[in-house]
Structure 1
């Protein structure tokens, strides 16, 4: 029998998690996926907030488990995060993210949550998980260079006269289709865990990398052919529809990654409340993301789409492709990642492909400082508050 005090603390932790999910939905996962599409006038701000909320919810439920478990159990060693520690960490991170939303600066959610969880864990006497930190920091450091670099090259190709756009855009669509074909979905793969579309297509024939690669190529060719046929009828309309599809994929990926930042600290509590499945946490976190996207995301969508870079359809496509790919890598390896860092880097990379037109260097400097500051501040505040509570 769980005592009432523990239940009460767990309820407070769950409410803090819900607040964190709302802040994330209003900030990174709710604003970044469709910001380039809004900047390219492919969709309105309010409609983008509505659509990204639904897709983020779907991603949270279908792809959120790996990052959720990493945040809950792999950031600190030697101790299990208590309900009180989860509450302190989540409230610290959520307040910082919410302040960023209302101030118009995209605080890196992964930075704040990681710092907060590590802070409360260290205050409880835990040991640093250096191996996981190396994975996380490597991805965080490489993201601006890889994402921005790919966006820059893609945008340059889309602007180049020697590359026919009617050939390049379907080829890019085929590449995206190949990535989608290998995403792990919770509903596929039977009872043994998640599975991919390519794996399910190849399964009736047999197992093996060659069969899966063949299925991947078939899906990529189908997507490329479909986009090419659409472009032959209406080139501008096909480009806009491809852009919206990319935004949807990034929104789905954002839900799969960012929900773990909100509900991950609650995972250790499942040992106490063993009747609650992880799916219930994913569903609740998805609802929080959905609410945040619908109520708070429009402000940040406007900030990203208009303040960072004046984007056209080509540069928006160039920004979203690496954003989607990096997000899926993070989900696959269970690494908490900031969608603000991913998308802003890609937006800037695509902007510099046009000579840096519309890129606000001053805004970018303040954003980077906010990212670094949020990591240090969340770690220090959560550590200090948890230490003070333990001394009472």
Structure 2
């Protein structure tokens, strides 16, 4: 059980370090919200989302393949290693992709992988950035009409700052509610759900505090240049689609959602200078993440199984 806790905390830390960028990256990079404020808000509302709504996605994740303590630990370590590598490279990848790939790698080792569920999740991965981009585009066009009625610049700036913090809190809540299942999903039935959810939320928060800054600037500045209004709209679109998938019990990718939302808001605002090189790097990371995590978990299972048989 000790090893299970350590591996889950490791993955939760890696998730927080990477996925914090998805909520506040645009606001921090555009100097709308200070990094310390973003971190504090993220940690608080990720924990609230994890504790009060973190059980919704558990059933989907736990149904991918049957788990023992051995396979749960192996899959979680594989997913955490994948997330850590991508974070060090500054690539905003998907924690749900890392965990789904790892769990499926374990399932292939056991011969219990459910391809039908996995294919449904893959379809959602494709729909997430597209839906976020479309949502961001139309939210920008609609809300900009209301925003234009605020006549003075100081009032506009104040409204944007408050909006960025409030919407970021909503996004952090949605992230905690959806992504904590990625941390504790493999351990469903192995440890008490309330304890696991709390542990997952705290470990995600630690990742935000200790290592969340680097990926924030990849998301916030390197894909496309956003003004303050577009930055807030992007987070609103991302948060909404992640929460929608959470209500449906589907493990969504906050990374994919925010990248799609950033592109949609940028185009709606008339910005066409998208950095295709960075975008290709991110999309390639999306493809690589489940593959790398799946291979890691498959070969870790083989290796540990061999060691156990020898000794």
TM-score, normalised to structure 1, is 0.73
- Structure 2 gaps of 5+ residues are none
Measure how far apart 1:318 and its partner are.
Answer: 2.1
Residues 232 and 351 of structure 1, relative CA distance in 2, 3 Å threshold = closer
Q: Partners of 2:94 and 2:182 in 1: how far apart?
A: 11
The residue matched to 1:265 in structure 2 has which SS? helix
Q: Partners of 1:47 and 1:357 in 2: how far apart?
A: 30
Counterpart of 1:133? 118
Asked if 2 retains the 8 angstrom alpha-carbon contact of 1:17 and 1:263, the reply is: yes
- Structure 1 gaps of 5+ residues are 1-9, 168-227, 271-276
Measure how far apart 1:256 and its partner are.
Answer: 0.8
* Range moving further from structure 2, 30-39 or 94-103: 30-39
Q: Partners of 2:105 and 2:67 in 1: how far apart?
A: 11
- Aligned residue-pair number: 307
Measure how far apart 1:233 and its partner are.
Answer: 9.3
Counterpart of 1:75? 64
Q: Which has the larger radius of gyration?
A: 1
Q: Partners of 2:42 and 2:248 in 1: how far apart?
A: 23
TM-score, normalised to structure 2, is 0.91
The residue matched to 1:43 in structure 2 has which SS? coil
Q: Partners of 2:67 and 2:138 in 1: how far apart?
A: 43
Q: Partners of 2:231 and 2:113 in 1: how far apart?
A: 42
Q: Which one of 282, 287, 294 corresponds to residue 197 of structure 2?
A: 282
Asked if 1 retains the 8 angstrom alpha-carbon contact of 2:225 and 2:271, the reply is: no
Counterpart of 1:340? 255
* Range moving further from structure 2, 281-290 or 318-327: 318-327
Superposition CA RMSD, Å:
2.2
Q: How does 1:1-20 map to 2 (within 5 A)?
A: 10-20=1-11
Q: Partners of 1:232 and 1:298 in 2: how far apart?
A: 29
Matched, 1:246 2:162: no
Matched, 1:92 2:78: yes
Counterpart of 2:177? 256
Measure how far apart 1:155 and its partner are.
Answer: 2.6
Runs of 4+ in 1 over 6 A off after TM superposition: none
Measure how far apart 1:348 and its partner are.
Answer: 1.2
Q: Which one of 32, 37, 52 corresponds to residue 42 of structure 1?
A: 32
